[in-house]
Amino acid sequence: MDKKLLWPVILAGLLGLAIIFYPRPTPEPPPQPLDLPEPAPTTSPLFVPDPDPEPAPEFLAVDLPEALPPLPALDDSDADARAALAGAAGEALVDQHLVPDDVIRKLVATVDNLPREALWIKSRAVPPVEGRLLVEGPEGARVLSPANFLRYTPLVQLVGAVDARALASAYRRHYPLLQQAYEELGYPGRQFHNRVLEVIDHLLATPAVDGPIRLEQPHVLYTFADPRLEALSPGQKILLRVGPENAAVLRARLIELRAALEERPATPDAD
């Protein structure tokens, strides 16, 4: 369990992720090309994606300077994407935690996998957080140690300093490439922006847990003893593992980013 990624939460924040809970039919499992693993169809009632095509969000066509240079091709977009994220989210966050290549494809794949049953190693956008999972208590009654939360604090502090409006602007600017990468995963005719908002709401719906979180160790890795917690998605489990104080910072940033993504720029009054 300690090898799961914190970065998907960060990406959720950077790209404005979330999940809207509508009762929807079970979709067909989409294919994933380019050596990115196929997202596993979920059996959790927490998430059932919409199989129907959705219209493009209007805000993506506004508030973009006319003189912007054209975007690079998706295959050549790594340098541009890293520079845009560094400008919006900070150089330390990008330099220390973001993968160097195939950035947009891995960001999109990670976002799409957050509410599913597992996060796929080949599609991860950053390496795992260093250190081992820290537990305490006697065998048979072990709980997640509060000392474990400190592993995530430096990264969460970087996320807490992110400029939400700058990220929303970078997101709008690079949306054509994000959309192309999303369609490559097997979603032609469906909008990545709608998926982003779904994932944010999904993360914000993570249940609060009072008191220590009990763990079990059926094999090598620890699992949550409460079956309701163990049934949560990888993204929601991350918000539990980082601890309540870090989770509060991430939740606040997700709320702020979601609002920034939905904000329409003011239209100048005509003379």
Instruction: Write out pLDDT tens, residues 159-182.
Output: 988 888 899 999 999 999 999 999
Q: For 14-28, 46-60, 92-106, 138-152, which range has the lowest pLDDT when averaged over its residues?
A: 14-28
Is there a domain that residue 76 lies in?
Answer: yes
Q: Is residue 258 part of a domain?
A: yes
Residues 195, 49: contact at Cβ < 8 Å? yes
User: What domain range includes position 47?
Assistant: 7-132+152-209+242-262
* Residue 206 reports pLDDT greater than 70: yes
When mean pLDDT is compared across 92-106, 130-144, 190-204, 256-270, the lowest value belongs to 256-270
Asked if pLDDT for residue 247 goes beyond 80, the answer is yes
Looking at the domain assignment, is residue 215 inside a domain? Answer: no
The pair phi, psi for residue 216, each rounded to 5°, is -125, 160
The one-character DSSP state at 116 is S
For the chain, give the percent of residues with pLDDT over 90: 45
Residue indicated by tokens 């560094």 = 86
Instruction: Please give the sequence-ordered ranges of beta strands (E in DSSP) within the chain, or none if there are none.
Output: 135-136, 143-144, 215-216, 223-224
| pTM greater than 0.85 (yes/no) | no
pLDDT, mean of residues 8-24: 36
Q: Amino acid letter at 97?
A: H
Domain membership of residue 138 (yes or no) is no
Query: Three-state SS for 225?
Result: coil
Most confident of 19-28, 29-38, 171-180: 171-180
The answer as to whether 236 is a domain residue is no
Tokens at 89, concatenated: 């989210």
C-alpha dist (Å) from residue 16 to 108, 164, 193: 12, 9, 9
The residue among 18 and 68 whose pLDDT is bigger is 68
DSSP string, the chain: -TTS-SHHHHHHHHHT-B------PPPPPPP--TTPPPPPPP--TT-----S--PPPGGGGSS--TTPPPPPPGGG-HHHHHHHHHHHH-HHHHHHHS-SSSHHHHHHHHHHHTTSS---GGG-SSPPPSSPPPEESSTTS-EE-GGGGGGTHHHHHHHHT--HHHHHHHHHHTHHHHHHHHHHTT-TT--HHHHHHHHHHHHHTPPP--S--BEE-SSSS-EESSHHHHTS-HHHHHHHHT-HHHHHHHHHHHHHHHHHHHPPPPPPPP-
Pick the closest to residue 190 from 21, 53, 26, 38 (CA basis): 53
| pLDDT of amino acid 265 | 55
Q: Is residue 120 part of a domain?
A: yes
Domain count, the chain: 1
What was the pLDDT predicted at 49? 43
Q: Has residue 220 been placed in a domain?
A: no
Average pLDDT over the chain reads: 77
Residue 171 lies in a domain: yes
End-to-end CA separation in angstroms for the chain: 60
